Amino acid sequence: MSGPVRRRTRARESALQYLYMMEVRGHDAEEELDAFVEHQTKASRDPRGRGEIAAFTKELCQGVPENRLELDQWIEAIARNWRLDRMALVDRNVLRLALYELIFHPETPYKVVINEAIEIAKRFSTAQSGSFVNGILDRARVLIEDARAASDGHPLPPKTAAPALKPEPRPRQELAPDALFSPPVPRPRRREDS
């Protein structure tokens, strides 16, 4: 049992590296997918597992970009105070990978996907990334479970609330230049009668 799980972990880590490369280099990286997967799997100490690692890595590396718009909608709807472009590059790709599995691989237990994503975020990003990823994926898990319970179809991204209108700024009052630096006016003294 530890073999297949470790193989999938290795595939997820490789897929994260590829998605990172793809985001930095653009679509030019798509041409190198086969060479990338071969390079990542040839050094595996598990010769029988190379095929499984390669297949799952390829599926993740192709599935995430194909569904990126939908995955990003999920992330933006859940991470209310975070724009996607402000998230760390590694964190948003870890979220995309995990959401892809949560949505398109319902046979994989939620707990496994979320725990793997947390560990990968901690390993490749910052110490705070684990809790950030956990919060978003746990909320996504609840929404995906609810959507699956309500229908047999594909769970759709939650609707985002319309952004709150910001109040218009009040015009600044212009003060006379000497009003800014006028000396304080002395208060009259109270005369106390005894």
Q: Which tokens is 84 given?
A: 């996607």
Kindly report, residue by residue over 58-97, the tens digit of the pLDDT: 999 999 999 999 999 999 999 988 888 899 999 999 999 9
* 50 and 130 share one domain: no
Collapsing DSSP to helix, strand or coil, 141 comes out as helix
Residue finishing a domain among 66, 84, 100: 66
Instruction: Give the closest residue to 137 by CA, choosing from 169, 103, 186.
Output: 103
Give yes or no: residues 21 and 8 share one domain. yes
Domain membership of residue 15 as a residue range: 1-66
**Are both 75 and 113 inside the same structural domain?**
yes
Q: Is residue 73 part of a domain?
A: yes
Say if residue 14 is in the same domain as residue 84.
no
Q: Which of 12, 36, 66 is the C-terminal boundary of a domain?
A: 66
- Nearest CA-CA partner of 87 in 113, 56, 126: 126
Same domain for 157 and 96: yes
Instruction: Give the dihedral sign, CA 13/17/20/26.
Output: negative
| Same domain as 71, residue 153 | yes
pLDDT 10s digits, 103-153? 999 999 999 999 999 999 999 999 899 999 999 999 999 999 998 888 877
pLDDT digits (tens, 9 = 90+) for 16-61: 999 999 999 887 788 889 898 988 888 777 777 888 999 999 999 9
C-alpha–C-alpha distance, residues 112 and 105, integer Å = 12
Q: Residues 104, 139: one domain? A: yes
Q: What is the pTM of this model?
A: 0.77
108 and 149 together in one domain: yes
Residue 82, number of CB atoms within 10 A of its CB: 15
